[in-house]
Amino acid sequence: MAILNKKKSLYPLLFVHIPKCAGGSIKYHFHLSYINRNNFGHVPLRFYKHEFKNFNYDKYFKFTSLRNPWDRLVSLYHFRTKNSHKYDGNYWRHVKNKMNFKDWIQYLEDRPEINSLYHETYFDYLSYNNRKINVDFIINFYNFKKDFKFLKFFKNENSIAQMKKLNKKHTHSSEHKDFRKYYNSKTIDIVAKIHKKDIKLFKYDFDNYTYADYHKYRNYKKLEKALSFT
């Protein structure tokens, strides 16, 4: 998803929307509800290079929000099966009728070629040259209110009012028990294998799930430069 802020700024914003990582709340802030020229949905960074000739990533302040991968897949499963009439044709209706969560995780391992949206790693989303993470800021899903506040300085219409609403709710939330209750040792290992590179990069842990090492992927110098521009 690309977001162009309305007010004059040194850097337009480019948001990489990974499913079930609070992207709906960020879209809500920017009044982006439908797919259009400023909202491309769940696409990786490399999409823009393919879609737009001579696209210059350096001209954008690129950011995303990330969640512990074990937690994210539980949320994704419950949200999509509950709303199976809206998503991916017969895929989620089939999952809802035939598979519990553990069965679905096994299915991801067995048939990754038809599950790219759910099987794709965070690194795949955030790297356009397949060598390194290429975003300027990563929001920690578990520290969302604090981390997201930097965006209000990119003076968007109704920014303060929208931030107050964001403090009260997440959009597109799903209801389920503690995600750890849905796993056994086998499915824990399957997700660890799928997200092997992400776990190494961000130091994710199944039990200490709120922690992630995002510091080296936060370009505070670029952020400060953007905010000081008048």
* CATH number of 20's domain: 3.40.50
Task: Please state the domain count of the chain.
Answer: 1
**β-strand 2-3 against 13-16: which pairing, if any?**
antiparallel
> Which domain covers residue 55, as residue numbers?
2-228
| Cα 105 from Cα 204, distance rounded (Å) | 18
pLDDT above 90 (res 209): yes
pLDDT above 60 (res 153): no
- Mean pLDDT computed over 166-174: 53
- Mean pLDDT computed over 168-190: 81
Most confident region among 21-30, 48-57, 185-194 by mean pLDDT:
185-194
pLDDT above 50 (res 159): no
pLDDT value of residue 189: 96
Q: What is the band of 2 on the pLDDT scale with cuts at 50, 70, 90?
A: low
pLDDT value of residue 230: 42
pLDDT value of residue 173: 59
Which phi and psi angles does 171 have, rounded to 5°? -90, 155
- Mean pLDDT computed over 106-128: 81
pLDDT value of residue 224: 75
- Write 142-149 long-range contacts (CB < 8 A, 24+): 142/67, 142/68, 142/209, 142/210, 143/210, 144/22, 144/25, 144/65, 144/170, 147/65, 148/22, 148/25, 148/26, 148/29, 148/65
The pTM of this model reads 0.84
pLDDT above 60 (res 6): no
Q: Higher model confidence: residue 145 or residue 36?
A: 145
| Cα 165 from Cα 28, distance rounded (Å) | 9
Q: Higher model confidence: residue 37 or residue 27?
A: 27
pLDDT value of residue 5: 54
Q: What is the band of 26 on the pLDDT scale with cuts at 50, 70, 90?
A: confident
Percentage of the residues of the chain whose pLDDT score is greater than 90: 42
Percentage of the residues of the chain whose pLDDT score is greater than 70: 74
Is residue 137 classed as helix, strand or coil in its secondary structure? Answer: strand
DSSP-assigned letter for residue 216: G
pLDDT value of residue 68: 98
pLDDT above 90 (res 108): no
Dihedral of the alpha carbons of 110, 113, 119, 124, in degrees to the nearest 10: 140
- Mean pLDDT computed over 24-30: 78
